[in-house]
Amino acid sequence: MENECLIDVEKLASKSETLTDELVEFLKLKFPESEIEKEGNNIIVRSERAVSKRKIRLYLKKFLHKNELSEEFKAVSGGGNKLTILKLAITKEETE
């Protein structure tokens, strides 16, 4: 049986299309046994073995931190087998 996890990267793609391509390449390095592909504003991780959502979320956080985007975006569970990268609201203090 094949396991599948969907990552919604719409907010990240709105910042830069190349970021989503970089994320796909990053995940391919971290999950070499998995098939990772981009379909529109989603990234799909398919694997024969179970890959935990928690582990994928951890690598999403590491990718955001590595690209200095952790202040701007956050990886959260979207329910079921779905993860979402959300854009964080910028407070008034941070803009001054």
Residue-wise pLDDT for 85-94, tens only, equals: 999 887 545 5
Residue-wise pLDDT for 30-66, tens only, equals: 999 999 999 989 999 999 888 889 999 999 999 999 9
Distance CA 75, CA 96 (A): 26
Distance CA 31, CA 52 (A): 11
The pTM assigned to this predicted structure is 0.86
Mean pLDDT, the chain, as a whole number? 88
**Of residues 81, 58, 62, the one with CA closest to residue 7:** 81
Domains and CATH numbers, the chain: 3-95 (3.30.1360.210)
